[in-house]
Amino acid sequence: MAKMTAAMAAALVLEKEGITQAFGVPGAAINPFYAAMRERQSITHILARHVEGASHMAEGYTRAKAGNIGVCVGTSGPGGTDMITGLYSAQADSIPILCITGQAPRARLHKEDFQAVDIASIAKPLTKMATTVLEPGLVPRVFQQAFHLMRSGRPGPVLIDLPIDVQQAEIEFDIDTYEPLPAFKPSVSRRQAEKAIDMLMASDKPLLVAGGGIFNADATAQLKEFAELVGVPVIPTLMGWGCIPDDHPLMAGMVGLQTSHRYGNASLLASDFVMGIGNRWANRHTGSVDVYTKGRKFVHVDIEPTQIGRIFTPDYGIVSDAKAALEQFTAIAKERKAAGTLKDFSEWVARCEERKRFMGRKTHYTETPIKPMRVYEEMNAAFPRDTIYVSTIGLSQIAAGQFLHVYGPRQWINCGQAGPLGWTIPAALGVVAADPTRNVVGLAGDYDFQFLIEELAVGAQFSLPYVQVLVNNSYLGLIRQAQRGFNMDYQVQLSFENQNVSDPVLKPYGVDHLMVVEGLGCKALRVTDPEKIQPALKQAMEMTREFRVPVVVEIILERVTNISMGTEIDKINEFEPIDCRHPEGPEGLEKAGLLE
């Protein structure tokens, strides 16, 4: 046993739990904890410019690599409330992050002290645990419980609030014998797995829907092995994108109202059985339950019991960690293959491959101003296969889901449910902090970019290089498109006559992003010609290596382009011409039965 401050005990527990990186903004009420981190020198700290930015950096850090847990630190009052959006984003997508906040002294908590707020009550609905620690001796065990909760069952965030006098109090604590608690993860039984495989084998046109739980369980290899063994096509959700390479024969495309492929929607509608693994049937994926479920049976596998039946009642539900389920499914399938009782779905797979081959969307536009579809075509050509893409919300993210190619796990880092504007830049910085050797590319529209643009200075200060693609139409594009239903274009235009810009093409677009970016210590390029997109993207990659800072590539788009989406997965509005590769044109798709 040793005598130490509770703040030092907290820092030591973080070390034992494997934490080597934190993001945050210091302040008076959290300074004792910062003093402990400074003394230990074992946790690298990155200073954010906004505490919300720190929380999104922690998210990006967690999402980038299996086993990571991002830590963000803030002071009392606004230091905690600024993190709420990050907690919501993490909770919604089952992402474990630990938020640590300072707090007023215990004796002042009920006296409306300066920057004293009941942050634990505010954060409670958005976390697996949110607590203000009132006894110094509890501090190391509350941190131990936090890591146990974050890793157990459905992952999620935790907030620990530390009054300053609690941090400074001395306690007896033996860190040498401290051990992390084992995580609890439910596992499928043999009997349950056999029933699920029986249902799969009873179908004729099955699909596997793979969600973000595949990544949380680090189970991409198991998913691929099982899919290849049984010969069943895979539909990744937006959070599961990359669990199987886009060019894999069994990758059947994404399904949904927005971030979807035409062939993915068509194959789902033609299927008769769906096994969902580690997914939550998000409404942007399903559209209405009636359309999504009609004519097909469902098995739902999820680590969280209350997730099964939340959106609709499946024909069969299994509470299990995704990796444990897939390993059991694979073992049973191998037995049946050896016995010669594994069903052959090759004809169905061939139909799904036909849809994928013939049902595309046009990307090669040569117009100026640039059509957004062309941007993604050039990104696919310019960036290496192992590129990690980071994006949050808006037409830029929706178009990315339709046109980009993703080839590996955790190569699409996306805030799926919450979708807060401003998320992209700090999240990308967190991804780079997790692995500075990877090719990281952020994708943002101009409004997302402007929300937390100050965090680019963090990338410059701490040498966190990545390429930030900025598609600029000077609009709140997704909201403008949604306002078509109200016959208005109201308060969604970001354009204005910038008196400091002389270029007549750029002047009405408003903000001079290049000037701002360079003022924050980063590098920037601007593209107005579609033929120059790819060279600029490649140049930006070289600049990240040379200057070791974020490099922004601003691409000036035409002001108004509607991106394909709809109210149901069988009613997607294709605003632009279809890139139909069938020799008989669109009529050939129907004649060949690919739309059935």
Query: Comparing 244-258, 469-483, 512-526, which segment has the lowest mean pLDDT?
Result: 469-483
- Residue 484: its pLDDT value, please? 87
pLDDT band at 514 (very low <50, low <70, confident <90, very high): very high
Whether residue 348 is predicted with pLDDT greater than 70 in this model: the reply is yes
Q: Would you identify the CATH topology of the domain 2-177?
A: Rossmann fold (3.40.50)
Angle subtended by helix axes 220-230 and 322-338, to nearest 10: 30
Catalytic residue among 109, 269, 479, 494: 479
- Residue 596: its pLDDT value, please? 60
Percent of the chain scored above 90 by pLDDT? 84
Catalytic residue among 311, 476, 478, 537: 476
- Minimal CA–CA distance to 237: which of 214, 207, 209, 263? 209
Angle subtended by helix axes 51-64 and 84-92, to nearest 10: 20
Average pLDDT over residues 224-244: 97
Average pLDDT over residues 542-570: 94
Catalytic residue among 13, 14, 25, 342: 25
Query: How big is the chain by its Cα radius of gyration, in Å?
Result: 25
Whether residue 586 is predicted with pLDDT greater than 90 in this model: the reply is no
Quick check: do 2-177 and 190-358 share a fold? yes
User: For 509, left (φ over 0), alpha (ψ -120 to 50), or beta?
Assistant: alpha
476 catalytically annotated: yes
51 catalytically annotated: yes
Pairwise CA distance, residues 266 & 271, whole Å: 9
Q: What is the pLDDT of residues 451-498, one digit of tens each?
A: 999 999 999 999 999 999 999 998 877 778 888 889 888 888 888 888
Domain 363-556, CATH among 3.40.50.970, 3.20.20.370, 2.10.260.10, 3.40.50.720: 3.40.50.970
Whether residue 116 is predicted with pLDDT greater than 90 in this model: the reply is no
> CB–CB of 301/275 below 8 Å?
yes
Q: What is the pLDDT of residues 171-200, one digit of tens each?
A: 999 999 999 999 999 999 999 999 999 999
pLDDT band at 439 (very low <50, low <70, confident <90, very high): very high
Show the tokens assigned to 580.
């139909």
- Residue 595: its pLDDT value, please? 66
Q: What is the pLDDT of residues 48-89, one digit of tens each?
A: 999 999 999 999 999 999 999 999 999 999 999 999 999 999
Domain 190-358, CATH among 3.40.50.1220, 3.40.50.300, 3.40.50.1360, 3.40.50.280: 3.40.50.1220
How would you list the strands of the sheet with 412-414, edge to edge? Answer: 412-414, 388-391, 440-445, 467-472, 551-556, 523-527
Q: What is the pLDDT of residues 262-312, one digit of tens each?
A: 999 999 999 999 999 999 999 999 999 999 999 999 999 999 999 999 999
25 catalytically annotated: yes
CB atoms within 10 A of CB 118: 15
Query: In the chain, what are the domain boundaries?
Result: 2-177, 190-358, 363-556
Widest pairwise Cα distance in the chain: 80
> CB–CB of 575/562 below 8 Å?
yes
479 catalytically annotated: yes
- Residue 213: its pLDDT value, please? 96
Catalytic residue among 421, 452, 470, 527: 421
- Residue 446: its pLDDT value, please? 93
200 catalytically annotated: no
Catalytic residue among 13, 14, 51, 332: 51
